[in-house]
Chains A and B, each alone.
Chain A
Amino acid sequence: MRFLRNPDPAQQAARMRLRGMIRKEARQIVRDPSSIAIAFVLPILLLLLFGYGISLDAKHVPLGIVIESSSPEAAAFAGSFEQSEYLSPHRFGTIQEAEQALITHEVDGIVWLRNDFEEKLLSGANAPIGVIINGVDANTAHIIEGYVKGAWLSWLQQRAAEQAGELNLPVQLQQRVWFNAELRSQNFLVPGLIAVIMTLIGALLTAMVIAREWERGTMEALLVTPVTAKEILLGKLLPYFVLGIGGLALSVGMAVWLFGVPLHGSLPVLFISSSLFLIASLGMGLTISTVARNQFVAGQIAIIVSFLPAFMLSGFIFDINSMPPAVQVVTYLLPARYYVSILQTVFLAGNVWKVIGLNSLALIVFCAFFLGIARRRMSKRLE
């Protein structure tokens, strides 16, 4: 009991120092417009931009159609494109004209029904149609390819049904979409975006504010007080953790109420996994700040090693499975990859423990790794 009433004076002093650091940091965050901008204004802008401005659903894609065959089958197949809301077909007399249109971006792809369309179709030979796709935008190219294939298959099925099994299809394709039944890109973009926002607050903001302390000479004054390296790190970590959770709450709120993204999983799971990712990001930011002592360099490093990879290689926009194998290997080194996977699962599928557990385990490894480096590199010496 006596021990409780008279705590160890060294511990008491340590608590007082930590309190001082946290209070100072909190005051600076509240007064610094750039912290507020990165933590709250930027997330809102990004969410609005990705939520409303960018859609990866290809609709009314201009598609050139060249019909050289005069058979009724060819005409009927070409007609089937007209009904699709995803495509808006343009007819061309010759393949040369269509190619010209592809070059000038009037159309994004060409479906070419040659002279021998009917002949090949009836003989059951392969590929009676030619498809040329503008591959500049790989994403759209994949989508067109899928649509054309789908249109071809459904036409074949329809025709088979009409002709009562005259043509036997080796495979019957039946599509059902799970987890994002309406195929709204918002539903997977917005949760993925939360990873980008957490990266911004965790790595970029933290690296910059510490670099600013070096620039303004406040770090030297701090270092020479009895404060320990651990307390300096904690003093940065805790306030920015709270700020990051604030950003998370804002993002989740906007996702659910503004964009109507379903949240199938539970909030505690979302909170715990986000905390892990945030701590890993903060650890990264602290590590960067032990290397970069001015804001410009710190910002550049943070953007290159954390923000851009989180944007491009996390699977948030670009599908990891369609990346070259070497790049796929690189994505395993990014905490954002695991977090995006958790986010998309928690939002769209629910608490799938196997996915969440494995990815969280990876995040725990990153937390330990970055905090360990930051702790080792953060020294109270000037060199």
Chain B
Amino acid sequence: MSVLELSGVTKRFAGVPALNDVRLNIRKGTVTGLIGPDGAGKTTLMRLIAGLLVPDSGAISVLGIDAIQDPLKVQQVIGYMPQRFGLYEDLTVQENLDLYADLQGLPDAERQARYAALTHLTGLAPFTQRLAGKLSGGMKQKLGLACVLVRPPQLLLLDEPTVGVDPVSRRELWAIIYRLVREENMTALLSTAYLDEAERCNEVILLHKGELLGQSLPAEFSQKMAGRSFQATLPGMNKRSLQSRLARSSGVIDSTIQRTGVRIVMEADVQPDPAALPAGIRIEPVEPRFEDSFISLLREIDGQPALPEVSLARAVPSGTDDEEVIIVDQVTKRFGSFSAVKDVSFKVKAGEVFGLLGANGAGKSTTFRMLCGLLPATDGHLRVAGLDLGHAPAKARARIGYMAQKFSLYGDLSVLENLRFFSSAYGLRGSDQRAQIDWALQEFELKPYANSTSQKLPLGYKQRLAMAAALMHRPQILFLDEPTSGVDPLARREFWQRIAALAEEGVTILVTTHFMEEAEYCDRLVIMAKGDILAEGTPDELRARVQSDQLPDPTMEDAFVYLIEEHETGRRSDAVPAKS
């Protein structure tokens, strides 16, 4: 039986199509994933189904109700959790639940039992009297879900419920969703930008630039790619160099660093040719996954991109090898009574790509801002490029480039004007300035957009421009705060290529990310949670820490989840004797 039916749905914003002739059908009792990069039209689709938007043409039927004619009726049978779920942060968990129970018309007599079931399911039972604003990111997400579920909906719409949430909470959210579908007879449609989550769905809908690319079982997507995925290993060669080498080989449509080697996807009917590759390379076939088919589909549409070859003309090397260019020594940052960063120490060597991995709220951005001299540390010492940030922040800042999490350039200036401004802000003049601007336009392929307003650039190009602006003054150290957040998988791959190329040039790179698989690109990394560093090491070392008989070949996410759980149980056992 079909719960949701869309036919010929088109929606334009100011003439620009956000969705084009979308037709789809969702069966009762399934979990369907809506997969697509940013700007694919996922949120627009959700809002259309929820009756918040009206399509320009087409029909939407939710459980047999016309969503265009009768949005109020639809809203009585669905639960919709928008991307930024509107919790009232100044109300407690219980008060938020009360509000939604009133709005959803849950009879008073049924409330206690429902609240008990939901708080138990989401693990919020001990926190019902806590203000929603004081919950962690994962708990807020669970409370948002609980509010939507107060009156059991027949169709559950979740817009990117897991974005920015730590992997532990992500796993818990997925478990909750499946339990609901099983026990409460719900149907769920959820959107996500994490491609690995597609494999957890019963069915997958691929959306790209407003077009529906396909709807089928995740396994069917993967099966089409059978025989095209391989794992290449070459001991002794830097994985990033190996990847950049393989990416340029003919027939390779995708390459990502995976564990000890590089995972490649070949064009259909092309086998990797070991003769054309470095000697000693081992190539083994591996199981195809959903992501392979997604990338392959996107490549068919967008074509193979030119691979960037960044050369930082006259780059200043960070220093001799093994010199420690960033030293963070027992640094603490408190905001009032809240410690965002707690007694954190790590060191970064010249030319390294160093990662800070953690969920939202782990303290990554705060650490970054302290390193860039934007925030003073409450306690501890920070040295960047040999300079003490407490004494010479301006001097240290001249040696670093910083790319903020959100697009922080001037949206109403053109690409060229932004580059001019940022280069002059860093003291570049005359021919040197002109040369650097030319270099940036060239290297980041921004020439065709030189006179476009930067606000109107596609997200991937905005990221390029932001990175170019951060590199104008040839910094020795580059800070990248969540550079790939919200960027589509193709742009993310390209971005990491650039980072790899910069590292080859000798630039030290410090990068934060909440994508676990991106940690593989780093030489070394720290895993952070709630202001603490849980572990430090190379990706191989971190994965090795959690290796066991049950988990012979752990992923970075496994390592992360294990470390967090270990940390929390450790903390709990610490806390018990302290209380008694």
Contacts and interface: CB of A to CB of B under 8 A. Distances in A.
A88 B144 CA distance: 71
A222 to B, nearest CB: 7
Given A23-B102, A380-B71, A218 B86 contact: yes
A169 B87 CA distance: 78
Interface string B62-92: 0000000001100110101111111111110
Interface stretch (A49-57, A62-70, A225-233): A225-233
A221 B85 contact: yes
A214 to B, nearest CB: 9
B99 interface: yes
B60 to A, nearest CB: 14
A23 B103 contact: no
B95 interface: yes
For A20, A23, A218, A220, which residue has the most chain B Cβ atoms within 10 angstroms?
A220
A143 B147 CA distance: 64
A226 B75 contact: yes
Given A24-B95, A383-B53, A226 B88 contact: no
Given A20-B98, A23-B98, A23-B99, A213 B86 contact: yes
Interface string B353-377: 0000000000000000000000000
A225 B75 contact: yes
A381 B52 contact: yes
A13 to B, nearest CB: 4
Nearest to A13: B105
Interface residues of A, number: 30
A32 B90 contact: yes
B95 A27 contact: yes
Given A17-B102, A17-B105, A23-B99, A221 B82 contact: yes
A227 to B, nearest CB: 5
Tell which of B75, B103, B144 has the most Cβ of chain A within 10 Å: B103
Given A24-B88, A28-B90, A381-B52, A222 B103 contact: yes
Most A CB within 10 A of own CB, among B50, B53, B85, B105: B105
A21 B86 CA distance: 14
A206 to B, nearest CB: 17
Contact of B86 (A16, A221, A226): A221
B496 interface: no
B15 to A, nearest CB: 14
Contacts of A19: 102
Given A226-B75, A382-B47, A220 B82 contact: yes
Interface of A: 13, 16-17, 19-21, 23-24, 27-28, 31-32, 213, 216-228, 380-383
Given A224-B52, A380-B52, A382-B53, 7 more contacts: A17-B105, A24-B95, A221-B87, A221-B147, A227-B103, A382-B47, A383-B54
26 contacts: A13-B105, A16-B105, A20-B99, A20-B100, A20-B102, A20-B103, A21-B103, A24-B88, A27-B95, A28-B91, A31-B91, A216-B89, A217-B82, A219-B86, A220-B52, A221-B82, A221-B86, A221-B144, A221-B147, A223-B52, A224-B52, A224-B82, A226-B72, A226-B105, A228-B72, A383-B54
Interface of B: 47, 50-54, 71-72, 75-76, 78, 80-91, 95, 98-105, 144, 147
